[in-house]
Amino acid sequence: MRLPIHLIELATGTAVDGIIFDDVTLEHFIESQAKWRPLVVEAAKKMQASGTPTDQLPRHWHWNWERKEQQLGDIGLSFFGIECRGELQGLMKVDLAKYSAKIPTQARAELAYIDYLEAAPWNIRELAEANGHPPRFGTVGLNLFAAAIGLSLEVGYEGRVGLHSLPNPRTERFYENTCKMIPVHRDPSMSNLLYLETTPVQAQLFLSEAQR
């Protein structure tokens, strides 16, 4: 699957053409490790040195997509990427097999669990600005989340999606307010990360607003 999407060039506010795809390869993981990780680490150090509150520091500085190479092709996993202007702009891993819904009205129903979702550091305002640059593209995370909803619908999970948010107030608000997810609880088994889900109703609400 390779589909055209639009990202927002934040410097101009205009839509630019991108591609979302599910034929993610090791080369994409290597690219993320080579281009993204040094910038995330650099931004984290600069933010810490400038006195940024701990809960606003990037917590994904240690992620390594290359370690997921052996998971490519796993029947229960799906990977998605976004490219724009010749560069990788985001990656996502979705698990279709291991998790079930926790919201009481959906309890034990199958869902698509977003295990990892990452935008390139130049697309995250706090990280880009910490490194002395304005952020480049918006709606990377939004397009990846929409792909997870679409995958859930495709496999018969009715749009149910779950994830643990990174412990950052801005990230939690993004999932709750923009992605229309319902906060379920802080999970003590996952370092007290906030766990959120979409029900079929919330999924349709998200899709209807995303299409406006």
Given a contact cutoff of 8 angstroms between Cβ atoms, the answer to whether 163 and 117 are in contact is: yes
Give the pLDDT confidence score for residue 47 in this predicted structure: 93
State the pLDDT at residue 37. 96
Whole-angstrom Cα distance, residue 207 to residue 212? 9
- Of the candidates 51, 57, 63, the one whose C-alpha atom is nearest the C-alpha of residue 127 is 57
pLDDT for residue 55 is more than 90: no
The total number of structural domains that make up the chain: 1
pLDDT of residue 106: 95
pLDDT digits (tens, 9 = 90+) for 156-210: 999 999 999 999 889 999 999 999 999 999 999 999 999 999 999 999 999 998 8
CA 211 to CA 139: how far, in whole Å?
13
Average confidence score pLDDT of the chain: 95
Q: How confident is the model at residue 18 (pLDDT cuts 50, 70, 90)?
A: very high
Task: Kindly report the number of other CB atoms within 10 A of residue 191's CB atom.
Answer: 10
Which domain covers residue 114, as residue numbers?
A: 2-210
Buried b (16+ CB within 10 A) or exposed e, 74-92: eeebbbbbbbbeeebbbbb
pLDDT range class, residue 57, cuts 50, 70, 90: confident
Q: Which pLDDT score, from 0 to 100, does residue 100 have?
A: 96
The predicted-structure confidence for 113-139, as pLDDT tens digits, reads as follows 999 999 999 999 999 999 999 999 999
**pLDDT band with cut points at 50, 70 and 90 for residue 61:** confident
Q: The domain spanning residue 34 has which CATH number?
A: 3.40.630.30
Closest of 140, 111, 143 to residue 210, by C-alpha: 143
Tally of CB atoms within 10 A around 99: 18
- Encode 25-43: b = buried (16+ Cβ within 10 Å), e = exposed: eeebbebbeeebbebbebb
pLDDT for 211 equals 74
d(CA 42, CA 37): 9
Residues in a beta bridge with 83: 19, 88
Give the pairing type, strands 2-9 and 137-138: antiparallel
